[in-house]
């Protein structure tokens, strides 16, 4: 059962062939069997999940109208607040915090009857691209346990690719859904900025953060997307418009007559050979399905990485100021006579990891008077230029495409001491965040040199998320025919698995 | 050197003012969440994930607060920005849950306005125009209570308690441009400005404007320059100025303190100072020499404020009469002498008197009641007049009862006492207490005869034409009839009884 897609599981539930309790238990068993090696989860809420499953089964038995994915288990990135369930954002500074409220995403999942099995590992406060910056140790890539699953939503991606969960939720500030999806051979979508409520999503960089779905197929991902998206009055930046028809698009999957733009700046030099090969092949597949492939020029993308690494740290330096030991979370140094300032300082020193401190310091500097214009101000101008580049490109093409990441999954520890090398891995995903548009990564096959998954990225204009699914579904179907079996069937068996 | 006198200060130095007024809006909910704003709740009962800055919580702007701020801007003759943004002011302090304050920085919602104020001088009334630099929105902080230590200050305290009920209450900050040219009147102009602001805000019904509760707070910036010079001196900023009188005292005190330093050839430190209500002096607070870097940047959690021009015009149309014009109108319409007008303003009864007049009461009578008997009771009880149980409707009814002859002034005072004691409306009090004017001449004659018999000697004096002696007899008759008689009628009957012309 756990090897099926979420859509198939939903079908089985609807037909009464299985129950949510059975399905949830099967996944909890899988977690028990393999998560000791993968370490996708920080917290497994066994009792809560089974209670939720039981409730959905009861509602189904009563004949209540349920959402299409009611009863399906899910893994939740630990960046989203869930009432009464430990929520840490991967940071020691929040160890032991039990939120007294649900994030809007969690409320929506609960009311849709989606079973939340637990909280997944992540780079601390979503700052990182390998999940190695977690305060609780790394997550391992199910394709090769010596490698990272990418990040920052590495736990969620690994949970889905190791069949510990059919669906998962991540957040994407600079590629944190799409890059781990690429590195673990699954589908991940970063919806349009403002499409999914950020209320209860622990902020890294408010103007870039966006939660989104993971699945093993384009349709599964669309089913989750539809449930989690929608306007929320509790988030001022939430878009007040209907959710794009992503499920319908995922079911149609037709690219005939579509114009697909290849971004000149996001390929070639710096991209692993096997990555480029699978990308080029996918383009040919799309062309063979009747799409028109055009090349588009986005000259400002050259500065995207620099702009991102000024804007995101600037916002985080302010967003993370609230972790001060006064009201919740870790408190250290509270010895006789210590001032509030001393306790704040000691706690932040002990609770934050190196990368978080690095970005807080960077951002504090970038916002300082006298430097603001040169750093934060310039970065905002680049952001405007990137938005203009996209506008011009979308005038020529319905969707834009690129490899999701320049390389396949790298070894744990390989880039940990070289932040610049790590940051370069985000070069193809970051422009989407800066422009506030939407993007998808889906598997394009395995790189010849290392047999590891390669991600194909699709980008669409704001609130045109359905185009991602339409294009992705077409490519997915054609590739499946070509390969004969889903890509995950080629992943090595995990020890301990039945 | 001795402290210079105020006259010595102004003979040599020219003061320049700058006033920042913080106003707590009286919205039902906080600036960025739906928590209640009521004053005086048990600590931390009016809080939620948003105003406690729990991880993941997001602010959403209170539209009513924007409306109130635009109203304030319009009333202060400001331009209203079609596009303005909130910014984060970053600094760490335990009573500020997010460790940044959401405020407005270089894009305030209202800017470039003015307020005209008038003060009384020995040469007659004098007008000053105070130019407004900006009116912007921000959120209040929580409150720290420092426990232990002698002074209630953080220094020397054993520990501190935090109450976040106030965190996130909408605040509007009204900042003047520098105010030059007030000369020796600087303290009075500042006081008049704050008073005018208070009246404008009260008229708009956007704030409780209670300085003693902190819903209106003034920071006064003062500097001195040599008379005739164009070069501004170093300013000090005095906080904690919690009454109109304190505004005047604080500025006067700072002018004297600055002059003393400057006369000695010393420098004024640019710093924050705290006003001491008891001494009228200021003490040094935080030094501003090393300006704090607040790292302002636009708040990415909030969208720009973009009020439609049509909405602004709708709001403009609802603006009430400007307080200074209203005072002028009322003074003329009711024909109030200067002194009485000033008394009404000082006692803060203009609104309540006007409400009474609007209910049909004679303006002079209404004013006399509120300013006289009712003010006296309020003083006695040490309560604001508005907190007494008596309303404009009660007073209007009372005035009518007296006019009809149902009550004498003296009886009416008993009725006021009853209304204030919560016994009901004037008619109800009259009924309950059995108060009525004794109009029965027979009963009065019996009392007069009794009194004349008891005080035969006095009665003889009156009979002999010594009329001033009648007062004592009338008083005794009134006492005899428990004050329910009409004193005028008693006088008529008494004088008739004793054979004197009426």
- Cβ–Cβ < 8 Å for A243, A229: yes
Contact criterion met (CB < 8 Å) for A318 and B59: no
Q: Which of A329-338, A372-381, B291-300, B480-489 has the highest mean pLDDT?
A: A372-381
d(CA A312, CA A423): 12
Kindly provide the ipTM of the predicted complex, given to two decimals: 0.96
CA–centroid distance for B103 within its chain: 26
The one catalytic residue in A39, A77, A108, A119 is A77
Pair A38, A48: CB distance under 8 Å: no
Mean pLDDT is lowest, of A44-48, A161-165, B284-288, B446-450, for B284-288
Q: What pLDDT does A268 receive?
A: 82
Q: Is A200 on the interface with B (CB under 8 A)?
A: yes
Q: What is the pLDDT of residue B479?
A: 86
Between chains, do A341 and B49 touch, taking CB under 8 Å as contact? no
Domain B441-497 listed as CATH 1.10.10:
yes
Structure tokens at A236: 């001022």
Contact A81 B54 (CB under 8 A): yes
pLDDT value, residue A199: 98
Residues from chain B contacting residue A348 (CB–CB below 8 Å): none
Query: Is A67 part of the annotated catalytic residue set?
Result: no
- Report strand pairing: B216-226 vs B79-80: unpaired
Yes or no, beta carbons of B300 and A328 under 8 Å apart: no
Taking only residues 356 to 385 of chain B, the set having a beta carbon closer than 8 angstroms to any beta carbon of chain A reads none
- The DSSP bridge partners found for residue A101 are none
pLDDT score recorded for residue B284? 86
B401 φ, ψ (degrees, to nearest 5)? -60, -40
pLDDT at residue A37 in the model: 96
pLDDT at A338: 87
Q: What is the mean pLDDT of residues A17-36?
A: 98
Cβ distance A457 to A404 under 8 Å? yes
Q: Which two tokens stand for residue B392?
A: 């404009």
Q: What is the nearest CA distance from A329 to chain B, expressed in angstroms?
A: 10
> How distant is the alpha carbon of residue A464 from its chain centre?
19
The residues spanned by each domain of chain B are 6-290, 321-433, 441-497
Q: Is B436 left (phi over 0), alpha (psi -120 to 50) or beta?
A: beta
Is A62 annotated as catalytic? no
Lowest mean pLDDT among A397-406, B25-34, B149-158, B388-397: B149-158
Q: What is the pLDDT of residue B437?
A: 75
CB atoms A199 and B56 under 8 Å = yes
> Do the chains contact at B301 and A81, CB–CB below 8 Å?
no
Q: Is some CB atom of chain A closer than 8 A to the CB atom of B144?
A: no
Q: What is the dihedral of CA A68, A69, A71, A73, to 10 degrees?
A: 180
pLDDT tens-digit profile of B303-355? 999 999 999 999 999 999 888 888 889 999 999 988 888 888 877 788 899 99
Contact A236 B100 (CB under 8 A): no
Strand partners, A263: A296
B90/A321 Cβ within 8 A: yes
> Is B306 near chain A, with CB under 8 Å?
no
By the 8 A CB rule, do A482 and A133 touch? no
Residues 162-181 of B with CB under 8 A from A: 162
The confidence band for B500, taking pLDDT boundaries of 50, 70 and 90, is confident
Nearest chain A residue to B154 by CA distance is A339
Alpha-carbon distance A492 to nearest alpha carbon in chain B (angstroms): 38
Cβ-proximal residues to B186 (8 Å cutoff; 6+ apart), any chain: B15, B17, B222, B251, B255
Find the mean pLDDT for residues A99-112.
98
- pLDDT given for residue B287 in this prediction: 60
pLDDT in tens, A299-323: 999 999 999 999 999 999 999 999 9
Average pLDDT, stretch A343-349? 96
The predicted structure's pLDDT at residue A106? 98
* pLDDT of B501: 79
Out of A32-41, A334-343, B195-204, pick the least confident.
A334-343
- Within 8 A by CB and 6+ apart from B265, the residues are none
What pLDDT sits at residue B495? 86
Task: State chain B's mean pLDDT as an integer.
Answer: 91
Say if residue A398's pLDDT is above 70: yes
Residue A369, Ramachandran bin (φ over 0: left; ψ between -120 and 50: alpha; else beta) = beta
Q: Which pLDDT score, from 0 to 100, does residue B290 have?
A: 59
> Contact B55/A89, CB-based, under 8 Å?
yes
Higher pLDDT, B153 or A479: A479
Question: Residues B384-395, buried b or exposed e (16+ Cβ, 10 A)?
Answer: ebeebebbbebb
Is any Cβ of chain A less than 8 angstroms from the Cβ of B355?
A: no
The band of A390, judged by pLDDT with boundaries at 50, 70 and 90, is: very high
- Confidence (pLDDT) at B242: 87
pLDDT in tens, B24-63: 999 999 999 999 999 889 999 999 999 999 999 999 999 9
A339: nearest CA partner in chain B? B159
Contacts of B301 in chain A (CB under 8 A): 198, 203, 206, 236-237
Interface test with B, best of A93, A104, A107, A327 (most B CBs within 10 A): A327
Share of chain B above pLDDT 90, in %: 62
When pLDDT is averaged across residues A374-395 and rounded to a whole number, the result is 97
Cβ within 8 Å, pair B56-A202? yes
Contact predicate B360/B396, CB 8 Å: yes
Cis peptide before A152 (omega within 30 of 0): yes
Tokens of B502: 């009426």
B429 in helix, strand or coil?
A: helix
Is B94 at the interface with chain A, CB within 8 A?
Answer: yes
Catalytic residue among A107, A176, A205, A300: A176
Got the DSSP string for B462-473? HHTT-GGGHHHH
What chain A holds in terms of domains, given with CATH numbers, is: 6-301+383-490 (3.90.1300.10)
By C-alpha distance, which of B22, B292, B285 is closest to B154? B285
Distance from CA of B207 to the nearest CA of A (A): 26
Distance CA(B33)–CA(A161), nearest Å, equals 40
Task: For chain A, say whether B97 makes contact (Cβ under 8 Å).
Answer: yes
pLDDT digits (tens, 9 = 90+) for B433-469: 888 777 677 788 888 888 888 988 888 888 888 888 8
**pLDDT tens string B197-246:** 999 999 999 999 988 888 999 999 999 999 999 999 999 999 878 889 99
Residue of B94, B296, B302 lying closest to A236 (CB–CB): B302
Supply the pLDDT for residue B291: 66
How many other β-carbons are positioned within 10 Å of the β-carbon of residue A388?
A: 13
* Contact indicator for A453, A184 with CB cutoff of 8 Å: yes
Catalytic residue check, A176? yes
- pLDDT at position A496 is 66
| Residue pLDDT, tens place only, B54-106 | 999 999 999 999 999 999 999 999 999 999 999 999 999 999 999 999 999 99
- Helix axes of B63-75 and B186-204: crossing angle, nearest 10 degrees: 130
Half-sphere exposure of B162 (CA within 13 A, CB side): 14
Q: What tokens were used for A384? A: 């405007």
Point out the catalytic residue in the list A91, A152, A171, A314.
Answer: A152
């Amino acid at each position: 059962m756990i090897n099926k897609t979420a859509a198939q599981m939903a079908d089985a539930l609807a037909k009464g062939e299985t129950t949510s309790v059975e399905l949830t238990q099967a996944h909890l068993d899988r977690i028990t069997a393999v998560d000791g090696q993968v370490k996708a989860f920080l917290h497994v809420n066994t009792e809560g999940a089974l209670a939720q499953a039981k409730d959905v089964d009861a509602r189904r038995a009563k004949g209540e109208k349920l959402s299409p994915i009611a009863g399906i288990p899910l893994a939740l990135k630990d960046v989203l607040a869930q009432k009464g369930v430990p929520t840490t954002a991967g940071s020691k500074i929040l160890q032991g915090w039990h939120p007294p409220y649900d994030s809007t995403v969690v409320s929506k999942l609960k009311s849709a009857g989606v079973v939340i099995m637990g909280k997944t590992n992540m780079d601390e406060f979503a700052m990182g691209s390998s999940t190695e910056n977690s305060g609780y140790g790394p997550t391992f890539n199910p394709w090769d346990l010596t490698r990272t699953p990418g990040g920052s939503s590495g736990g969620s991606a690994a949970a889905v690719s190791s069949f510990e969960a059919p669906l998962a939720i991540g957040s994407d500030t600079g590629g944190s859904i799409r890059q781990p999806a690429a590195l673990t051979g699954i589908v991940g979508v970063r919806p349009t900025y403002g499409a999914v409520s950020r209320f209860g999503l622990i902020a890294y960089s408010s103007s870039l953060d966006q939660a989104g779905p993971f699945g093993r197929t384009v349709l599964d991902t669309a089913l989750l997307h539809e449930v989690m998206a929608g306007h929320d009055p509790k988030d001022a930046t939430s878009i007040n418009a209907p959710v794009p028809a992503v499920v319908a698009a995922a079911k149609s999957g037709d690219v005939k007559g579509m114009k697909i733009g290849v971004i000149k700046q996001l390929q070639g030099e710096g991209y692993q050979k096997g990555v480029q090969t699978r990308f080029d092949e996918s383009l040919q597949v799309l062309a063979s399905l009747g799409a028109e492939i055009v090349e588009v020029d986005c000259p400002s993308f050259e500065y995207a990485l620099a702009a991102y690494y000024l804007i995101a740290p600037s916002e985080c330096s302010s967003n993370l100021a609230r972790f001060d030991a006064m009201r919740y979370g870790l408190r250290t140094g509270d010895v006789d006579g210590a001032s509030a300032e001393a306790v704040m300082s000691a706690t932040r020193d002990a609770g934050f990891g190196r990368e978080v401190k690095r970005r807080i310091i960077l951002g504090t500097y970038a916002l300082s008077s006298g430097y603001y214009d040169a750093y934060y101000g310039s970065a905002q101008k680049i952001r405007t230029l990137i938005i203009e580049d996209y506008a011009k490109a979308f005038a020529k093409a319905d969707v834009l495409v690129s490899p999701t990441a320049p390389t396949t999954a790298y070894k744990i520890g390989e880039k940990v001491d070289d932040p610049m090398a790590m940051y370069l891995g985000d070069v193809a995903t970051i422009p989407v965040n800066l422009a506030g548009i939407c993007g998808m990564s889906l598997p394009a096959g395995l790189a010849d040199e290392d047999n590891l998954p390669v991600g194909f990225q699709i980008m669409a204009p704001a609130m045109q998320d359905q185009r991602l699914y339409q294009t992705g579904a077409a490519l997915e179907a054609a590739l499946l025919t070509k390969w004969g079996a889903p890509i995950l069937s080629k992943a090595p068996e995990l020890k301990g698995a039945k | 050197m001795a402290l210079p006198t105020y006259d010595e200060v102004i003979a040599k130095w020219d003061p320049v003012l700058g006033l920042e007024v913080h106003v707590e809006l009286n919205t039902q909910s906080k600036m960025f969440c739906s928590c209640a704003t009521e004053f005086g709740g048990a600590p931390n009962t009016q809080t939620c994930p948003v105003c406690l800055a729990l991880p993941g919580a997001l602010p959403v702007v209170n539209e009513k607060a924007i409306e109130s701020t635009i109203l304030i801007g319009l009333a202060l003759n400001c331009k209203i920005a079609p596009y303005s943004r909130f910014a984060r002011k970053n600094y760490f302090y335990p009573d500020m849950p997010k460790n940044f304050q959401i405020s407005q920085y270089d894009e305030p919602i209202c800017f470039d306005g003015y307020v005209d104020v008038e003060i009384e001088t020995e040469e007659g009334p004098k007008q000053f125009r105070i130019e407004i630099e900006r009116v912007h929105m921000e959120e209040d902080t929580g409150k720290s209570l420092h426990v232990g230590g002698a002074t209630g200050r953080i220094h020397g305290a054993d520990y501190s308690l935090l109450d976040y009920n106030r965190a996130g209450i909408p605040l509007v900050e009204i900042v003047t441009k520098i105010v030059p040219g007030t000369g020796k009147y600087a303290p009075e102009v500042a006081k008049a400005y704050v008073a005018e602001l208070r009246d404008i805000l009260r008229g708009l019904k956007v704030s409780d404007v209670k300085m003693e509760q902190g819903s209106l707070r003034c920071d006064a910036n003062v500097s001195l320059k040599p008379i005739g010079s164009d070069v501004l001196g170093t300013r000090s900023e005095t906080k904690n100025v919690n009454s109109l009188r304190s505004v005047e005292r604080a500025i006067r005190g700072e002018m004297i303190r600055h002059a003393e330093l400057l006369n000695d050839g010393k420098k004024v430190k640019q710093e924050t100072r705290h006003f001491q209500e008891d001494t009228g002096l200021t003490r040094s607070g935080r030094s501003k020499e090393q300006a704090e870097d607040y790292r302002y940047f636009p708040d990415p959690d909030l969208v720009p404020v973009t009020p439609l021009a049509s909405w602004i015009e709708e709001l403009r149309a609802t603006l009430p009469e400007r307080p200074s014009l209203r005072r002028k109108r009322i003074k003329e319409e009711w024909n109030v002498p200067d002194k009485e007008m000033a008394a009404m303003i000082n006692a803060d009864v203009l609104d309540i008197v006007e409400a009474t007049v609007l209910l049909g009461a004679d303006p002079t009578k209404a004013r006399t009641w509120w300013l006289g008997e009712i003010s006296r009771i309020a003083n006695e009880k040490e309560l604001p007049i508005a907190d007494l149980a008596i309303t404009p409707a009660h007073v209007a009814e009372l005035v009518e009862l007296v006019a009809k002859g149902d009550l004498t002034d003296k009886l009416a005072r008993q009725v006021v006492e009853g209304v204030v004691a919560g016994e009901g409306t004037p008619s109800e009090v009259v009924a309950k207490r059995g108060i009525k004017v004794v109009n029965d001449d027979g009963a009065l004659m019996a009392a007069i005869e009794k009194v004349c018999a008891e005080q035969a000697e006095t009665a003889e004096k009156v009979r002999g034409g010594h009329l001033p002696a009648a007062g004592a007899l009338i008083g005794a008759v009134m006492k005899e009839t428990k004050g329910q008689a009409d004193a005028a009628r008693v006088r008529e009957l008494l004088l008739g009884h004793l054979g004197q012309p009426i």
